[in-house]
Amino acid sequence: MAGRTLENVRNNVQLVYAVTRCPEIVSKPSRGLPQALRDRHPELPCRAIMDVGNVYRHEYDNVSKDLVWRTVHEKLPELLAIIEGEIASLSDNPE
């Protein structure tokens, strides 16, 4: 998505399908996250993360391109920061 604009997304069906695949993939394993991890990050909309995959998989014809854009630019960076923090804490505290 680097260098892309919302207009690029609106006008490129292939790009929308490719970008939609990322949150679709992320949603499945999110269902198995331990409650302790969820409790550490109450800012995460865990239910929405879990549910978005179903929307992208089964209602793809109703997915708003603007929603895809906002998800990738606003939500995924926040999620990535949390994931990177969790990974860093694992390497700081090896068991």
User: Quick one: residue 3, left, alpha or beta (phi over 0 = left, psi -120 to 50 = alpha)?
Assistant: left
Q: What is the pLDDT of residue 19?
A: 80
Answer whether 0.85 is exceeded by the pTM: no
Q: Over the chain (95 residues), what is each successive 10-residue block's mean pLDDT?
A: 83 83 84 91 89 80 80 86 91 68
Q: What is the pLDDT of residue 36?
A: 92
- Nearest residue to 71 via CA among 19, 7, 33: 19
Query: Are the CB atoms for 69 and 40 separated by under 8 Å?
Result: no
C-alpha span between 81 and 48 (Å, rounded)? 18
Q: What is the pLDDT of residue 39?
A: 93
* CB-CB neighbours of 56 under 10 Å: 21
Q: What is the pLDDT of residue 41?
A: 93
